Amino acid sequence: MNHTSYVRATAKNRRKIQTAFAELLSERGSIKNITVTDLADRAELTRGTFYNYYDNLAEVGAELQREIESRLFSEYGSLSNIQSIEQYIDEIFTFLHQQEPIYRELITSIDTKGFLAQLENEMSHRVLEAMRSDGVDGKNVELELLFLTNGAIAMVRKYYQGEVDLTLDEIRDFLKAKIHWLFANYGKTLP
C-alpha cells in the first residue's frame, strides 16, 4: 500500500470509529455503556483495528472533542465578520445546540476546561472589541464583561451536566439581555 492510500485508509477508519462512537454515545447516554467491541462492531472494523488507532474509548472522545472545538473556533473567522453581537451569540448557541448530544456526554466524562475557557475568551474578546469600537473602555468594563461571559459559559457547562433547569435558549437570551444592559449602562446601543 502506497503512502497516500495508507493515509486515506487511516483517515477513513478514524472517521468510522468517531462516527460509531458518537452514535453509540447518543444512543446509550454514557461512555460507561460502550465497549470497544460495541464500537468496533458498529464501525464494521475489528477490535485490533480499533487498537491500531486508539488505546481506549476516552481517547476517541478526546479526539472527537478536539475536532468539534476546532470546527467551532475555525468558524470564528467567519463569525468575526458578523456585525451584530446578537447574531454572533446566536451562531455560537446554534453550534452548541447542534453538538448537544455529544457535548452533553463529553462535558461530563472528559476534561473540557480548555474548550470552555477558549469559548469564554473568544466571546468576551468579541463583545469587548465591539464596546471599545463604540468608545467604551476601562477596567470596570472588562471586569463586568468577564463576569458576564464566564457566568454564561458556566451555565452552559451546568446545562450540559444537568445541574440547572434551563434551556440553551434561555441561557442565550439571558446573556443577550445582559449584554444589552451592559451597553445601555454605558450609554451605548448594542451593534
Question: Quick check: pTM over 0.75?
Answer: no
> Looking at the predicted structure, is the pLDDT value of residue 49 above 90?
yes
Domain boundaries, the chain: 3-55, 61-185
- Percent of the chain predicted with pLDDT > 70: 81
Q: Cα 137 to the chain's mean position, in Å?
A: 29
**Do residues 74 and 122 touch, judged by C-beta distance below 8 A?**
no
Which of 79-88, 98-107, 131-140 ranks highest by mean pLDDT?
131-140
Higher pLDDT, 167 or 100: 167
**The pLDDT of residue 111:** 53
Amino acid at 66: R
Local structure of residue 187 (DSSP, 8 states): T
Grid look-up 461571559 returns 149
Band the pLDDT of 82: cuts 50, 70, 90: low
Give the pLDDT score at 99.
75
| Residues 81, 83, 87, 89, CA torsion sign | positive
pLDDT confidence of 31, banded at 50, 70, 90? confident
Between 42 and 27, the more confident residue is 42
Mean pLDDT of all residues in 18-42: 87
pLDDT of residue 48: 94
CA–CA dist 28, 47 (Å, integer): 20
Which CATH fold topology does 3-55 show? Arc Repressor Mutant, subunit A (1.10.10)
43-57, 60-74, 101-115: which range is least confident on average? 101-115
Report how far residue 109's alpha carbon sits from residue 79's, in angstroms, rounded to the nearest whole number: 29
Q: What percent of the chain has pLDDT over 90?
A: 21
Tell me what pLDDT residue 114 has: 66
